Amino acid sequence: MEPTQVRLTIPDSVDPTRLMGPADSLLRRIEEGFDVLIHVRGSKITVAGAVDEVERVTSVFSRLIQLVEAGQAPTADDVDLLVDQARHGAEVSGVGTGDVLLSHRGGAIRPKTVGQKRYVEAIRDNAVTFGVGPAGTGKTYLAMAMAVSALGRREVGRIVLARPVVEAGESLGYLPGTLQDKLDPYVRPLYDALFDLCDRDRANALIDDGAIEVAPLAFMRGRTFNDAFVILDEAQNTTPEQMKMFLTRLGFSSKFVITGDASQRDLTGEGGLESARRVLAGLDDVSFVDLDRNDIVRHTLVAQIVDAYARLESDATPVAATSDRKGGARG
């Protein structure tokens, strides 16, 4: 492929030091991620290499410039995420702005990928939103941030966090301790996200006052949630009957967010997520947002792990099909 060269101009409003990082650390991370030559002189960035590689690097620099112009200081994790998205053909522009919430540590919680942006917008615009995708895509964390933000703005009167409590064939009765002791292992990830967004004392006070309730899915039967932001996490482990029961708890002035990862399902047969997608398709005020490996914002190794397992499953499927068709695998 013929090499090409592109020259970018850093706007006067952008501090080159913030753009390139301390001692050009961010620039070096970009150089390591692509097979290109990058030369920076003053306000000019020159990128030379294969056309597709140059386009990817240009998209990364353009996004970083947008972040700095918005008053943000890009981190090494931000750059690694942008590089990974660009290398896998994901859109890296137009996201990361528009805060969902300021955490108690002063950090801004915002969508970092196109898929996450669609997810946040769907939650804002719909009464019921399904967020489906692999680990690390921010399904639960962003939903929790939206819930805490809505509670702070008095858009809802309370937050209800629910999870199915039976996984991998184990029931609560076989676990030691009180009912709360039995529930804690199941709802701990919800507490972790809550305490990351709110000061622990403040969060505990809201829980004690009933403004935030954490409960197993089985305890939802017979209730109606008005003026509430309700999150059902790990919904891949619900049955169709449980999902119907949960969705029909929706009351006035409420939002429901249902999150799940179909690849981590512990039950057999059709699950609640699959049945809901089939039954509710086309209904107004209900949105399904599918997140994928390009939306993973944890350690970059997480995306590689997801890819590795996806390849394994993809390779295994045709082998099994061939074995069934031929009467046995060939040696």
Question: What residue type is 72 in one-letter code?
Answer: Q
92 lies in some domain: no
Whether residue 225 contacts residue 254, with contact meaning beta carbons closer than 8 Å, is answered with: yes
Among 43, 65, 87, residue at a domain's last position: 87
Question: What residue type is 286 in one-letter code?
Answer: V
List residues bridging with 260 in a β-sheet. 132
63 lies in some domain: yes
CATH number of 13's domain: 3.30.1370.10
Pairing of strands 228-232, 158-163: parallel
Output DSSP code: residue 100.
S
Question: What residue type is 145 in one-letter code?
Answer: A
Q: What is the pLDDT along the chain (331 residues), one digit of tens a residue?
A: 578 899 999 999 898 888 999 999 999 999 998 999 999 998 899 999 999 899 989 989 988 898 888 787 888 878 887 888 788 766 654 445 455 655 545 566 778 888 998 999 999 999 999 999 998 899 999 999 999 989 988 999 999 999 887 544 445 555 566 656 666 666 777 888 888 888 888 888 998 999 999 888 888 888 999 999 999 999 999 999 999 999 999 999 999 999 999 888 888 888 999 999 999 998 999 999 999 888 887 666 776 787 788 788 777 655 444 444 444 333 3
Say if residue 114 is in the same domain as residue 227. Answer: yes
Q: Residue 136's CB: how many other CB atoms inside 10 A?
A: 21
Among 87, 111, 140, residue at a domain's last position: 87
Collapsed DSSP state (helix, strand, coil) of residue 164 = coil
Say if residue 293 is in the same domain as residue 156. Answer: yes
Residue in the block written with tokens 């390591």: 32
User: The pTM is what?
Assistant: 0.70
